[in-house]
Amino acid sequence: MKRSCLASALLFFLLIGRGKVEGQPIDVRSELKTEPAPQGQAAPDIRVEGRNLFLRAPITLPDPCHQVTEKTKVEGTEIVVKLEIEAPPADSFCIQVLKAVLAKVTIFDLSRGAYTLTLETPAQTIREAVRID
């Protein structure tokens, strides 16, 4: 009986420590940066380096006063990154010209394993399998 409880406690600790308990949100650190979009980048780019995940997605803003915001959620083996356009305050003045930006999101220190990434942008949603080694 004592051995069974100890084994259960150890298994629970390992699952929590690795962040793989299904349905439980995992606290991850992510960072969003934007820069002018390069010519010719029409599709998002997804890359893994070590335990970090790098996403690049072109976004067209309705004007230079709008901003890109990012929300990242990890639950079990699901990673959802949502990029949205945030409007400026209603009373602000802004030149009316389209602005193409490249949204760059980095998700740091993911646990090793296989994940399903969903990247939602204003223009499209992409689902892709990624592996962190």
Domain spans, the chain: 22-132
**DSSP code of residue 13:** H
Whole-angstrom CA distances from 14 to 1, 6, 11 are 20, 12, 5
Residue 3 CA to residue 83 CA, distance in Å, equals 48
Q: What is the pLDDT of residue 89?
A: 92
User: Does the pLDDT at position 12 exceed 70?
Assistant: no
Q: What is the pLDDT of residue 11?
A: 38
Higher pLDDT, 97 or 25: 97
Q: Which residues are paired to 79 by β-bridges? A: 74, 117
* Mean pLDDT along residues 39-46: 84
Tokens of 66: 């709008």
Tokens of 105: 């999101």
Tokens of 75: 């639950």
Taking 3-state DSSP, the helix, strand and coil percentages for the chain, each rounded to the nearest 5, stand at 15, 50, 35
What tens digit of pLDDT does each residue of 69-104 get? 999 999 999 999 999 999 999 999 999 899 999 999
Provide, rounded to the nearest whole percent, the portion of the chain with pLDDT above 90.
71
